[in-house]
Each structure stands twice: as C-alpha cells, then as structure tokens.
Chains A and B, each alone.
Chain A
Amino acid sequence: MNDTIHDSVKGLLQDISRPTEERAPQADKIQPEQAADTTKTKDAGPETKPEISEEMIETGADLTIGLYDFSQTTLFSWLVKNKKDKRIIRLYGEGALDKLEMLINEKEASEDSKASVQVIRSFTIDEIAMLKITKKTDEILNGLPMTEQEKNLIKVPLMEMMKQHGGTLPPSWALILGFLQISGARVGELLMF
C-alpha cells in the first residue's frame, strides 16, 4: 500500500486515536458536541431506552436475595434464641440457662458416642428436656439461611421483574418485602415451639 493512502487517512487516524469518553454501557448522556450541533443533517433516529445488561440485572438480583437472606437470618436467629432462653427460664427457673450451658459442655466433652450415652443417662428428665429444646432451636437456626437451590429458584422471576423496571427492584416491591419480613418474624415468633 503506498504512502498516498496513509496520507489520506492521516486525519482519520489522528481523530480515532483520541480517546472517547469512557461511559457505562447504559449511559444516556448527550455529548456536548451533539447537543450543540443543530446544523448536521444526520438522522439521530428515535429515542430508545438505554439497555441494562443481563449481567448487571443478575448481580442486582443476587445482591437483593443476599441482603434479604442476611437480614432474615440475623433477625430470626436473634428471635429464636431469645424465645428459647425465655422458655427455659419460664419452665425451669432463673439458673436454668447456666445449668444448660454446663450440660452442653458435659455432653460435648464425652469423646465417643458410648461415653455420650452414659452422660445422657445420668441426666434428669428436665435436663434432657432442656437439651431437646436446644437441639430443636439449633435445627431451626441451621435451616434459616436460604439454600443455593432456593436462591436460584427466586432469582429467575426476580430478574424478570427487575428487567421490567429498568434493572431495579420497584419501591412497592421493596416495601412488600419489608412488610413480609417484619410480619414473618412476628408470626414465626408466635408459632415457634
């Protein structure tokens, strides 16, 4: 290719080598040049809504689910533990919590299952009942965080909804989720044990 060709595109190469303004994919900013230019005969085309990428919506959905899961787990854990402690005190008296701690330590200290059975056999009926309540509480707490399967199940419809609302959770839905969380915690507290 001869030099004449390179000369003819020199200005174009210089122009292209200038950086363009870095923009987020969805930026809908009008360039000052574009805004000021009323003499150009170019057809700007119809106004189109900026697209939000699938990746961004997916991240948004993951964050929403993660935040909901975290706040729910934290809130319910506190409620369940609180309820368990109150119930044990009501049933077995003020010093029952200290006694329970001692029983748990004693049980955990027994090295094998045979020794563990021996330790449990030495407990009174009340002591075993306290340990049962504790076990049930632990089971509830372990089941609180959402599983990956549950998260994935929610993610798809959540992404669809977010897509329809420009990649965000509509305020009305955020409010409903908030109500569900608060009322869910109250109902949970009533139904527990």
Chain B
Amino acid sequence: MEKRLNKMILCVGRKGTGKTTIAQQIAKVSQKKICVIDTDDHPSYSDFELFNENNLHKWKSGNIRIITSEPEKVLDLLNKKCSNAFIIIEDAAKIVSANVQREVKSFIIDHRKRNFDVILMFHFLADVPPYVAKQYDYMLLFKTGDSLAVAQNKFANWHSILPMLQRILNHPSFNYCEKINVDD
C-alpha cells in the first residue's frame, strides 16, 4: 500500500461552523492516537481522557486532551517524548502566533520526524502565521469574517484561496467548507 507523509492541516473558520467535528473525523480515520491541546475545556472532546502534560511520557495509547496555559511546554514535551500521533491544536492563534516560541516552531517544523499529523484550528485566515502558511498540506476553509487585505499577504496561493472563500461565503449553509491541497 502506498505510504503517505504526515500532514499538516489548517482548519479555518468562525465559531460553530463545524471545524471541530471535521477535525475529529479526520483524526479518527488516521487510526492514530489523538492528542488535543487547548487553552480552554472544549465540550466536544469530553470523551477524551483529561491528561496532565507532565505525564506525557506515559501516553502510549488512547485519545487525550490537555488543557494548558503553557502550550509551548506541551509541544516541547510532545516533540521530545512522543511519536506517531494525531495532534489537534485548538485555537491555534493563541499558540502559534507570529512571535512564535522556539519550542512551537520546532514542533511545527519537525512534526514529520515524530510521525505526527497535525491539525491547527484558526478562526481567521489572517491569524495564520506566515511560516505556517508556507508549510501546510491541506486547508479546510469554512466561513470566516476575514479582512481579505490582511489575509492575502499571508498565502502564496491566494489566487486559489480567494475564489474558494467567495464560494464559501456565498453558500447558504453555515457549515459549508471546501478543501485546498497545496500539491494540487
């Protein structure tokens, strides 16, 4: 069977558009253990075991969620002690900002070495830092309230994103989303 590379997926959309639902579907089909990193307790992940970041080296199986005020520490520990997992970073704008810390950057850059698939959740395209915009494999775009002028400077393939975004914004369903693949 053809092997695939580990993927970095961006999920961009306003609250309530269904980002988390899709992220869970994607993570589950990968058949990898899932780790959700969040700064708040998201009810959608209530069936995931609440895990202490200091015990990450003991995480061998099962789906977990880590609620932390120090996400950079969690990413650093994941990078050092874990492998072969699906990582969902909720509200990534709080974690993966433009002035990103070294640990976070290492995690983003090295996620393939650790056999991690990563989903980064953003509310706005404008929140996606430039170095993430250069690295992602897929983007799932939902309805956003973006300022197009800010967002267009971030993405090299903006010419593909713009018509997609317009289709999404004009679509009658609030949950409508489209996928963009940088390899296409």
Which residues of chain A have a CB within 8 Å of any CB of chain B?
Answer: 1-2, 4-5, 8-9, 11-13, 15-28, 31, 33-34, 40-46, 48, 50-51, 53-55
Contacts and interface: CB of A to CB of B under 8 A. Distances in A.
Contacts of A23: 83-84, 113, 115
Nearest to A58: B57
Interface string B101-136: 000011011101111010000000000000100110
A51 B84 CA distance: 14
Nearest to B30: A16
A41 B81 contact: no
Given A8-B178, A25-B114, A25-B115, 15 more contacts: A1-B18, A5-B22, A12-B181, A13-B25, A13-B26, A16-B117, A18-B2, A19-B4, A20-B115, A40-B183, A42-B134, A43-B131, A45-B108, A45-B131, A54-B80
Contacts of B81: 53-55
A13 B115 contact: no
B152 interface: no
A11 B7 contact: no
26 contacts: A1-B175, A5-B22, A5-B175, A8-B140, A9-B25, A9-B140, A9-B177, A12-B26, A13-B26, A15-B4, A16-B4, A16-B117, A18-B3, A18-B4, A20-B3, A20-B117, A21-B115, A23-B115, A25-B83, A26-B113, A40-B182, A42-B135, A43-B131, A45-B131, A54-B81, A55-B57
Contact of B1 (A16, A19, A44, A45): A19
B153 interface: no
Nearest to A4: B176
Interface string B169-184: 0000101111101110
